[in-house]
Amino acid sequence: MIHSLFLINPSGDIFLEKHWKSVVSRSVCDYFLEAKEKALEPEDVPPVIHTPRHYLISIYRDKLFFLSVIQTEVPPLFVIEFLHRVAEMIQDYFGECSETVVKDNMVMVYELLEEMLDNGFPLATESNVLKEMIRPPTILRSVVNTLTGTSNIGDTLPTGQLSTIPWRRAGVKYTNNEAYFDVVEEIDAILDQSGTTVFAEIQGVVGACVKLSGMPDLTLSFMNPRLLDDVSFHPCVRYKRWESERVLSFIPPDGNFTLMTYHVNAQNLVAIPVYVKQSISFFESGSGGRLDVTVGPKQTMGKTVEGVMVTVHLPKTILSVNLTATQGSYTYDNGTKLLVWDIGKLNPQKLPNLRGSLSLQAGAPKPEENPSLNIDLKIQQLAISGLKVNRLDMFGEKYKPFKGVKYITKAGKFQVRT
């Protein structure tokens, strides 16, 4: 299965290596670095590389490459999924996943990797189990550690892995028992020049932060479960209950986790919260062009649209831009040709507008294609599909937990073609 792991930063330095079987020389990474050189963007590096003796499967995430070395046949998704779990685990432990964080916590990351795989086969990937074996750092504990010379590795041996519920650690105790659920929906859409929807769908995630003592057994039901077209669950969810009653019945892991993801298939019935009026044109002479973009609210269900941001990858031949925004501010990076217009809250009375001129490099021909606009937005207290949580019940424990549900709608891959 997974033979070795290398962490590589974007400039090609290997800063951590871990071998689960015999040691593989880091020169194997040269094949990867070669492919990386060839690719224009780090995203374009092929995830699977075939070298004479090994297979390299890599992911690019949080500006880091996670490169695994494989020697025999294994489902590539198996490896990719695992690498993402490693990244998530680092994120979970240290708050972010970056080169500095990994370098600062080298020993701990190394130990975590040691626990996660045995002989290249995943052993413990549940955050709850790992945290019992190796405690995550806290400020207080790190002070205590430096004073007393102890470390973060648990003195007591874990029980979680051995309980009948592998994802939940035993003996959880809180003074305040709380369970919060976030319903986050993302709109993926492609709009064409005229503003008609080419493609739209809603992807939702029910995230949870459950801090409940003991072994609570929760049941979460929706007002309108029929909306959900396709779902995937955290392993804790009892699939049979869902099949028969359309309720989520589960014993939750402790802490933060993703309870389910879902897909709402409404095709063109998806409410598009904003409209974009745009005109980007280049002069035939090839000396420059004009850009004029206006964003306005469309189907917002009476809520305010916040955090609106328009991102444009301008053509490579653009030399400079000279724009004015009636609301918010814009930044333009001449290196990446990335124009970002941060609008903020949408005011229906006074629509934000960005207009001005673009100048091209001397002698460059008129660009073939107009760049497409990527829109970001956020609507609080609204699930655009209309999904609503009905109730949350708890069994198995006596106390009364504090419960809460939050809805957010965001733009996912929301693209306007021009």
Partner 1 sequence: IVCLIDYMLESNKESLKLEAMKRVVGLIAKGKNASELFPAVVKNVASKNIEVLKKLVYVYLVRYAEEQQDLALLSISTFQRALKDPNQLIRASALRVLSSIRVPIIVPIMMLAIKEAASDMSPYVRKTSAHAIQKLYSLDQDQKDLLIEVIEKLLKDKSTLVAGSVVMAFEEVCPDRIDLIHKNYRKLCNLLVDVEEWGQVVIISMLTRYARTQFTSPWKEDGVFDEHSERAFYESDEEKTRNEPEAKPYMMDPDHRLLLRNTKPLLQSRNTAVVMSVAQLYWHLAPKNEVSIVTKSLVRLLRSHREVQYIVLQNIASMSIQRKGMFEPYMKSFYVRSTDATHIKSLKLEILTSLANEANISTVLREFQTYVKSQDKEFAAGTIQAIGRCATNISEVTDTCLNGLVLLLSNRDETVVAESVVVIRKLLQTQPTQHSDIIKHMAKLFDNITVPMARASILWLMGEYCERVPKIAPDVLRKMAKSFTSEEDIVKLQTVNLAAKLYLTNSKQTKLLTQYILNLGKYDQNYDIRDRTRFIRQLIVPNDKNGALSKYAHRILLAPKPAPLLESAYKDRDRYQLGTLSHTINTKASGYLELSDWPAVAPDQSVRNVEVIEPVKIHHFIFPSTAHPTPSGSDAESRVENSSQSSEESDESSSQSEKSSSESESDSEKKKRKTKTPLQKKTVKPTAKDGPYLSKCYQPTFCSSDLFIFSLILSVCPPVYSALSPLSLSFPLQVSGPAFVPEKSHDLLHRMTGKGLSAQYQFPRQPCLYQPTMVSVQISLTNTSDHPLEQIHIGDRSPTGLNIHCFNTVECLEPEASVTVFMGIDFNDSTQAANFQLCTKEDHFSVSIQPAVGDLFLPITMTELDFRKEQGKLLGMNESSATITMAAENMTSQPISRPVATVANLGVVPSGQDDIHRCVFAGKTASSGAVVLVTVELRESSTALITINTEKSVMGSMLLRDLKQALAQA
Minimum CB–partner distance for residue 1 and partner 1 (Å): 7
177 is an interface residue for partner 1 by CB under 8 A = no
284 is an interface residue for partner 1 by CB under 8 A = no
Instruction: Calculate ∠ Cα 159-85-128, nearest 5°.
Output: 20
Closest CA to 245 of 385, 384, 382, 390: 390
**Joined tokens for residue 292:** 């004029």
Q: Give the residue with the Cβ less far from partner 1, 121 or 283.
A: 121
The region of 210-218, 288-296, 298-306, 353-361 touching partner 1 under the rule CB under 8 A is 210-218
3-state secondary structure of 260: strand
Site string for partner 1, 263-282 (x = CB under 8 A): x---x---------------
The region of 30-38, 90-98, 146-154, 300-308 touching partner 1 under the rule CB under 8 A is 146-154
Contacts of residue 407, Cβ cutoff 8 Å, sequence gap at least 6: 182, 183, 184, 185, 380, 381, 382, 383
What is the number of other CB atoms lying within 10 angstroms of the CB of residue 202?
26
Q: 359: part of which helix (H) or strand (E)?
A: strand 353-360
Measured between alpha carbons, how far is 254 from 256 in angstroms, rounded to an integer? 7
Question: Which one among 31, 180, 199, 275 touches partner 1, defined by CB under 8 A?
Answer: 199
Question: Which one among 174, 180, 233, 275 touches partner 1, defined by CB under 8 A?
Answer: 233
Closest CA to 314 of 296, 346, 288, 351: 288
Q: Give the residue with the Cβ less far from partner 1, 201 or 254.
A: 201
- Of residues 6 through 35, those in contact with partner 1 by CB under 8 A are 14-19, 21-23, 26
Minimum CB–partner distance for residue 407 and partner 1 (Å): 19
Return the half-sphere exposure (C-beta side, CA atoms, 13 A cut-off) of residue 113. Answer: 27
Applying CB under 8 A, what is the total number of residues that bind partner 1? Answer: 106
- Of residues 53 through 92, those in contact with partner 1 by CB under 8 A are 55, 57-61, 70-78, 80-84
- Of residues 315 through 374, those in contact with partner 1 by CB under 8 A are 315-316, 365, 367-369, 371-372, 374
Check: CB of residue 21 under 8 Å from CB of residue 3.
yes
